[in-house]
Amino acid sequence: MIQDQSPPPVSLRESGPQRVPELLAPAGNREKLALAIAYGADAVYLGGSSFGLRNQADNFTDDELAGGVAYAHDRGVKAYLTVNWYAGGADLPGLESFLQRIAPIPFDAYIVADPGVIDLVREISPERTIHLSTQANSTNWRSASFWSRQGISRINLAREMPLEEIREVRRRAPVEIELFVHGALCISYSGRCLLSSAMTGRNANKGECAHPCRWNYSLVEESRPGEYFPVLQDDHGTFIFNSRDLCLLPYLPELVTAGVDSLKIEGRMKGVNYVASVVRVYREALDRYRDDPGRYSCRPEWLEELAKISHRGYTTGFIFGAPRDVAVEYDSRYIRSHDFVGLVEEVAEDGVATIGVRNRIREGELLEIIGPRMAAHHHPLEGMTDEAGSPMSVAHPNSRVLLPLPFPVARYDLVRRECKNVSPA
């Protein structure tokens, strides 16, 4: 355990005997936004159809952005807009038009990286709160102080920063601290990368990353074209760029006492199963720490839950200093123990659940149904019918089925089953 000598944290969430940070979740589309909120997010971040770093996600139209913010605010949840790409001169007219169109939408903050974009936001929406993206590469307290003087209220610190330096930012810079705690890591400096542009023409710094760091590579000597040599003794080639996924769940007390104001989960391009499963674990952990910090410990079932979703093996990244081989994943496959097969869409008064099927399910399979607050039930699939009431033995993706259940469930509960094989990247 790292010894903490930092002052008490300045936190946004004040309920209970111990302040804990805001839990900030990804919202790649309206469904994911609803799931993030249902499973316990304090705030969500979402993007328009362009000008963010996840342009390949579903994202939101201008009208959907307004509806998404209203949906969040009606439930007491904050909504932040990502405008964190790096604009070229030719991009500015389109960006200006976008910012003018969405100016009436009451976002709680914009997440921005480029000083030119910050300047444009100030011109169009001078009252807007601005959070600084990790793309801005803030790696020390002087950088944080500089941005604070520019009117930035919160900084997502670079993922390269160790815990001791995060504490120093809290001590010396008058700014809120946001930190990524879970999800995919980028091999480049704070996520700024030219590899995708060079290899595919898709600019990672404008939200179009092709993820070439996750491809398989082998070495070719120029006088032996066609002969491929793995850098490592591996039949599948080498994976010299692959990073494991970040997971700081076991170290929440250290982050809280370091003064982190917001814990951010990566994943706007991930599915609803990822969003719900990760948010519910971190929500449960934060609430237990808030209620009884002196007796808090990271529970094995929380880590087991995170192992069930698709991931690349977990690492603590740089939080405790420079990572060694533990930060590199020498396997091209994602790891997961469970398949996401459906989502509860409605529940009738008699307890019959309408399930939106996402992967094929068969009569007799053992299902796991999970909900917020770590609720979980196991149930053999039996008595399934179509919406007209006709019995079914198999249900295929994009269908809806009715399923009588002997325990209470609710809309947005997830349905999954144990799988035996891992999924290739």
Q: Tens digit of pLDDT for each residue in 285-313?
A: 999 999 999 999 999 999 999 989 988 78
pLDDT at residue 173 in the model: 97
Interval 197-214 mean pLDDT: 67
Higher-pLDDT residue of 421 and 114 is: 114
Q: CB under 8 Å to 114, separation ≥6 — which residues? A: 84, 85, 86, 87
Interval 344-360 mean pLDDT: 96
Interval 39-57 mean pLDDT: 79
Tokens representing 247 are 């997971």
pTM of the model: 0.83
Tokens representing 282 are 């971190």
pLDDT at residue 20 in the model: 95
Q: How far apart, in whole angstroms, are the C-alpha atoms of residue 140 and residue 133?
A: 14
Higher-pLDDT residue of 173 and 320 is: 173
Q: Tens digits of per-residue pLDDT, 94-118?
A: 999 999 999 999 999 999 999 999 9
Whether 22-185+243-327 shares its CATH topology with 338-418 is answered no
Q: Tens digits of per-residue pLDDT, 216-250?
A: 666 676 777 776 655 554 444 444 555 788 999 99
Radius of gyration of the chain (CA): 22
Closest CA to 155 of 171, 169, 165: 169
Give the Cα-Cα-Cα angle 204, 209, 211 (nearest 5 degrees).
Answer: 125
DSSP string across 69-116:
HHHHHHTT-EEEEEE-S---GGGHHHHHHHHHHHTTS--SEEEE--HH
Range in 174-178, 232-236, 268-272, 403-407 the model is least confident about = 232-236
Higher-pLDDT residue of 54 and 61 is: 61
6 pLDDT band, cuts 50/70/90, is: very low
Closest CA to 246 of 175, 153, 314, 300: 314
pLDDT at 159 over 60: yes
**Alpha-carbon distances of 90 from 7, 52, 95, rounded to whole Å:** 46, 16, 10
Query: What CATH topology corresponds to 338-418?
Result: Elongation Factor Tu (Ef-tu); domain 3 (2.40.30)
Q: Does the 22-185+243-327 domain belong in CATH 3.40.120.10?
A: no
Interval 164-176 mean pLDDT: 97
DSSP code for 62: H
Q: CB under 8 Å to 24, separation ≥6 — which residues? A: 41, 42, 43, 44, 45, 80, 178, 262, 263, 264, 265
Range in 133-137, 188-192, 414-418 the model is least confident about = 188-192
Domain spans in the chain, listed from the N-terminal domain onward: 22-185+243-327, 338-418
| Other Cβ atoms closer than 10 A to 327 | 18
194 pLDDT band, cuts 50/70/90, is: low
As a residue count, the chain comes to: 425
pLDDT at residue 269 in the model: 84
Angle formed by the axes of helices 141-149 and 163-172, nearest 10°: 40
pLDDT at 52 over 80: no
Percent of residues in the chain assigned helix, strand, coil, to nearest 5? 30, 25, 45
Q: How far apart, in whole angstroms, are the C-alpha atoms of residue 66 and residue 283?
A: 26
Q: CB under 8 Å to 162, separation ≥6 — which residues? A: 318, 319, 320, 321
DSSP code for 398: T
Average predicted confidence (pLDDT) for the chain:
85
Q: Which residues pair with 335 in a beta bridge?
A: 311
pLDDT at 405 over 70: yes
pLDDT at 383 over 80: yes
pLDDT at residue 205 in the model: 62
Share of the chain above pLDDT 90, in %: 64
pLDDT at residue 16 in the model: 43
